[in-house]
Structure 1
């Protein structure tokens, strides 16, 4: 396949692109920073600096849209909320326009979203049919998904990646937590009872390949079948790193530091990959501690 990827230098893209190359696919990565992309990928990867110089996507068989400003890197000021939204919405809208501008559009658009689509649902077991809470993360993801679905036609199917916390080396959530835990400063956050829907980056990549190669469409929870509570996660990470994990971060302190974005760590989703498993996809990483061992070793 000839595949276009946005957000290819991000956490998921850095693992996905090499796998696609190994499988013999031709990959083009859309990037704002050509030097960073060239340093990340080998010469087999074609690079586009943005989408404005291209009219349509007829040369591609598939598009994987992973672009978006990192959601947890800064406090959610009104300006930052706009950046989070527009970095996702504008790129996706441009892709949809390019799908419709050609005569032979790609067969599939696989477009990013997140389990934040559901908001904080506490103890509720969440599958793809669960009605969401109307929080900022839902508004962001719902509009993102709505725009992506505009590419759907009799020639193109659309898959939506409602992704949980991706466990991967050198980045993501673990990039922030591992140094704290190594220093003996790790532990549960707030009550510790909130659920964390997680997925090993290898399963994430394999699930994207599954959607690429099978006639599937609609939303998919990209999460392990076994979500855990925050306190279970802290205990497992401390055990893997041979460090104590009892430095609980009070919810009040987290809200003071993070503001509205504290919902990302004080809330959660007990999300399950119902539609992925029903389609026949098999996970490699079910056990959290085994997954953490593999990632941090």
Structure 2
């Protein structure tokens, strides 16, 4: 299989590239700096400049482009960056898939699509929320329209909180917990739709070859509350987690992004289940035990 991949400099992209190449597949990475080898090709995701020849014979395109949403203050300028870093590359790649007949496009998205859902269980059929992040996801997914209209099989990867030691979430929360500073955020009742990095990478590979199209929640079967996550992480690391970070303190420190930390999304992977995907880590204790090794 030949895969053209964009936005793969982060820990998920690096992991996917390694997994695919180890399995014997060819991966051509689209990069914004001077290529360092034959497996890289220069592109400008905002102007649309790229070498179309790299798509010759491609079986799929994977697009993971997007500036990080977490742990940044969402100023007006940064909101513009969040939007443009997602919509522009997606629009460019969707158009190339449509024009050149690439059969599959896996495009990043997020469970932030659903907005605040409280304790309600949400599947891929749930409508979008009205928060900034939810509407960002709507525009992000809409940018795949050229590919969908050309009958490209488009999968929208609505990703939850990915647990892996190379990722920001587990790295930060495990460090705080080891330093005896672990605790819940706000009430702790908000649901966190998590997934282990092992299962996230496996799910992306699964979706490359299985006839799934449309949105797919990349989350584990059993989302947990923030309080449950905090308690289990403390248990795994043999540390108490008695602290509470009040909502007002989060809002002072992080501004609008704090809403994403205190609002819940009890998202479950209905599409992956129906397609027959097998999770390696179905429960949080299993995932933390594996990823903290």
Q: TM (normalized to structure 1)?
A: 0.92
| In structure 2, C-alpha distance between the alignment counterparts of 1:58 and 1:156, rounded to whole Å | 15
1:31 positional shift: 2.2
Unaligned stretches of 5+ residues in structure 1: none
| Deviations 1:144-184, CA, capped at 9 Å, x for gaps | 11111321255521000000000011223112222211111
Query: Which residue of structure 1 aligns with residue 64 of structure 2?
Result: 66
1:73 shift after superposition: 3.4
The 1-side partners of 2:34 and 2:176 are apart by: 32
| SS, match of residue 205 in structure 2 | helix
Quick one: distance in 1 between partners of 2:151 and 2:274?
A: 24
Q: Which residue, 27, 31, 43 being the options, matches 1:50?
A: 43
CA distance in 2, matches of 1:152, 1:116: 22
Taking structure 2 as the reference length, the TM-score comes to 0.94
- Say whether the 8 Å CA contact 1:106–1:156 is kept in structure 2: yes
Change (3 A) 1:34 1:14: farther
Contact 2:98 2:147 in 1 (8 A): yes
Equivalent residue in structure 2 for 1:214, among 210, 225, 243: 210
> Hey, what does 2:167 align to over in structure 1?
171
1:217-275 Cα shifts (integer Å, max 9, x gaps): 01001000000000000001111111111111111101111110101211120001011
Report deviation, 1:58.
Answer: 3.4
> What is the distance in 2 between the residues matched to 1:153 and 1:143?
16
Partner of 1:123: 119
* Alpha carbons 1:55, 1:101 under 8 Å: kept: no
Q: Give the Cα–Cα distance (whole angstroms) in 2 for the partners of residues 252 and 34 of structure 1.
A: 45
> What displacement does 1:93 show?
0.9
Instruction: Tell me the equivalent position of 1:200.
Output: 196
Matching residue of 2:11: 11
**Is 1:238–1:245's contact at 8 Å kept on the other side of the alignment?**
yes
Matches within 5 A, 1:1-297: 1-33=1-33, 46-51=39-44, 52-55=49-52, 57-102=55-100, 105-153=101-149, 156-297=152-293
Q: For 1:132 and 1:96, how far apart are their aligned partners in 2?
A: 22
State the distance in 2 between where 1:55 and 1:154 align. 17
SS at match of 2:281: coil
Alignment: residue pair count = 288
Q: Is the 8 A contact 1:126 1:272 kept in 2?
A: yes
Which shifted more, 10-19 or 115-124?
10-19
Tell me if the contact between 2:98 and 2:150 (Cα under 8 Å) persists in the aligned partners: no
Alpha-carbon distance, 1:49 to partner: 2.5
2 CA distance for matches of 1:32 and 1:296?
A: 33
CA distance in 2, matches of 1:272, 1:171: 21
Would the aligned equivalents of 2:6 and 2:63 in 1 still touch at CA under 8 Å? yes
